[in-house]
Amino acid sequence: MHKTIYGAFAGDICGSTAEGLPLSASFPLFDEEMGITDDSILTVATMDALLAAGPFEEGEGYKKKLQSALVENYVRYYEENPEPLGGYGPMFAYWCRSADHSPYGSKGNGAAMRVSPVAYWARSREECLFLASYVAGVTHDDPEGTKGAEAVALAVYLALHRASKEEIGETMENYYPGSYSKAAETYRSGHRSALASLSVPEALAAFFLSSSYEEAIRLAVSRGGDTDTEAAIAGAIAEAYYGSPSFPLAVAKVPSYLGPVYLPVVEAFEEAVERNYDVIVIGAGSTGSLLARELSFFALKTLVVEKSLDVGDATTAANSAIAHSGYDPVPGTKKAFHNVRGNKMMAETCKKLDVPYGPIGTLTVARSKDEEKTLEALFERAKENGVEARIVDKAWLKENEPNLTDEAVAALYCPTGGIVNPFLLAAHAMENALDNGVFLRLGEKVISIAKEGSGFLVTTDHGNYWARVVIDAAGTAAEEIARMVDPDLGWHLIPRKGEYFVLDHFGGGFVRHVLFPLPSEKGKGILVTPTTSLNYLAGPTSEIEEDPDDAATDTLTLEEVRKAATSLVPTLPWKEAIRVYAGVRATPSTHDFIIGPSEKEPHFLLAAGIESPGLVSAPSIAVELREEVGKILPLHKKEEAKDSIRPYVHPLTLSKEERDALVKERPSYGKIVCSCEKVSLGEIEDLFRRSLPCLTVKAVKKRTRAGFGKCQGGFCQPQVLLLLAKHNHLDPLAVEYGNAESPILLGKAKKGGAK
């Protein structure tokens, strides 16, 4: 369903005939007697003025341009419709008819009723408040009138950017004490006033007491105060908070009330909001997601476009989950720089994003005197790259890695290497970015990029978007994307497939470090490593693959993995293998990461060829690309931006007493959905309450581990599917496993059974 900006209009229409008439909250919606009032007309006029003024810019020049457009539009809209349903406020009507359009010091709610569009126009909380004061200032320059406009605009902005009701409420308490903490009392106040100081907190209370977009409007109207304005305010906040698809009747009915005069302006405003961005990031793997997070700290309107139905769904989801120390890359390369810096950033990044991380160290194993010589060369490279390392002998290995092959004579030990959960690194980074106001389009494939004006028009299979800066972080598709801008690239990508075994949890500490063989021209070789989820991985192979989307495995290649892994750890219990998988990474022809501006278009930035050690490098790459954006666009820190997410509840890490208390308070944490991985219903429900959409069974699996255990979803998958269907308002037949062509259910069984 099309996402609309109809909240203020829906509330205004539903409240247009109820002023001063307390009603039952079950009153009919959108009947024939209802219509738009001055609230809707001036909200459209505000949209029109914002379109004329363009994106916010600092300084008096932009303020004058916007306020000039506001005055012109308010007067023109009044003259074109001087007698709407309910009329205009007398002070505003006099102002429109006067030759003097100076502000008239109103304390009323007129600015608050028309201000909601600025929340969609603003790129930061600070911009939102500036714009709200500009909108109010052309008429309502009294502090009370301005405060009402700022409070409403900020409430819509916070709701739009996924703040909780508690967060919105705490902010509104600074404007109107009691509007949240005593919402029920405020709502029942009995005021029937057009003063902002009385009607705005009542409208806020209606939103805080609601459980849906529709209910917020019903509550605002049924109290019988200044119903059109209070419902317009409550409706604007509620639509931003609950989403327009949650009130399909409003989406269907509002256009007919706006009619051919006002609807085109609203649609143009919606298109401008949805179409125009400062930055577009193509790709939401670990690099794209951490880049989105980095950009979210600044007053930029950023969009991420991802062809999969979830973030981190390709290379990020199918790698070795290693935080490499940085001993291996050639000194002086971007790989070496970002590997080492990214490794230093990883622990703090994971802490803020609630991502499992284990600095367990890596061992690169030599099994002969000749290999020891290669080890010495790697040690010298580690020193040149600034990586802590030392060579350990056979006795050290016997004591610290007892299941390692007896053939091991020495190893390069890098204590800063480690393991990380790649699924959650991408997902939680994107969640943080979305919490800070970044926009995300999942399931959209970019099909063309064209230069348009001072930026680029990015066309997907779902629509068109424009931005001053476009960043190509498309993984194995990065070359295809880059050639849309520069057909004569001086580099290309070589897809390489790696196949793996996953072994179930067994024998904690069976392998204590990440174990590498000596690297070859194909890469770091087939490793054996524990994971942050206490499984073990063996792999990967490294073979050139023509199809970058081919993630199939084959018996002969897996046997190669088994043989190589066994040569490192002879007693590896293959009976514990529960899954095999493959991933494709993009090896650059340059043998180095390709990061920075395109040679042809400096506003088109590249993050291509991000193969191993790309996962650990991603936080560092994000910083470099943000710095490149700063050379093109002004970067202003957003005061409200957070660098961490709301912590997740991890029942398995709690003591029995803590778990019992949790289950007593929230019983869903005591209902186990996935028995293999001990994943509770409460954890899945919490996932659904996050800002990052959860659309597929695989998304739930990656973020909670439901389906990752020994039965591989054989028991929990049906329940997960039904939970997804309910959460996303889908027919269970429409729920996908992972991509847009992976349904689990093919049809409904016939009623009855065999006789």
> Whose CA is closest to 210, among 432, 434, 435, 7?
7
Instruction: Give the C-alpha separation, 658 to 655, whole Å.
Output: 5
Alpha carbons 617 and 285: distance in angstroms, whole number: 12
* Residues linked to residue 467 through DSSP beta bridges, in sequence order: 277, 456
Distance CA 364, CA 200 (A): 66
**Residue 555: phi, psi to the nearest 5?**
-60, -45
User: In terms of DSSP H, where are the helices of 455-571?
Assistant: 478-483, 555-568
Task: Give the integer Cα–Cα distance in Å for 741 and 724.
Answer: 17
Residue length of the chain: 755
Q: What is the DSSP string of 237-286?
A: HHHHHH-GGG-HHHHHHHHHHHHHHHHHHHHHHHHHHHHEEEEEEE--SH
Task: Report phi then psi at 392, rounded to 5.
Answer: -110, 150
Q: Are 339 and 330 in contact (CB under 8 A)?
A: no
Q: How wide is the angle at C-alpha 301 spanned by C-alphas 295 and 306, nearest 5°?
A: 75
Q: Which of 563, 306, 582, 277 is nearest to 430 (CA)?
A: 306
Write the CA distances from 120 to 290, 418, 470, 659, 710, integer angstroms. Answer: 24, 42, 21, 42, 47
Maximum distance among all Cα pairs of the chain, rounded to whole angstroms: 95
Phi/psi of residue 104, nearest 5 degrees: -115, 20
Residue 705 · residue 674 · CB < 8 Å: yes
324 is catalytic: yes
**Distances 523 to 199, 390, 539, 542, 609 between C-alpha atoms, Å:** 67, 21, 12, 7, 14
Is residue 386 a contact partner of residue 340, using CB atoms and an 8 Å limit?
yes
Q: Which of 161, 324, 428, 505 is catalytic?
A: 324
**Rounded distance between C-alpha atoms, residue 156 and residue 118, angstroms:** 9
CA-based nearest residue to 477, from 549, 379, 570: 549
Using alpha carbons, select from 361, 362, 342, 339 the residue that is nearest to residue 350. 342
Instruction: Report residue 206: phi and psi, to 5°.
Output: -60, -40
CB 682 within 8 A of CB 666: yes
C-alpha 182/C-alpha 194 separation (Å) is: 21
Backbone phi, psi, residue 164, to 5°: -75, 165
* Strands in 480-550 per DSSP E: 493-503, 514-516, 527-530, 536-539, 543-544
| Residue (of 217, 213, 219, 152) closest to 188 by Cα position | 219
> For residues 531 and 568, is the Cβ–Cβ distance under 8 A?
no
CB contact at 8 A, 40 and 12: yes
Pick from 475, 565, 558, 555: nearest CA to 517:
565
Report H helices in 387-520: 394-400, 422-435, 478-483
- Tokens 């404007």 identify what position? 175
Going by C-alpha positions, the residue among 476, 744, 700 that lies closest to residue 587 is 476
Active site (catalytic) residues: 324
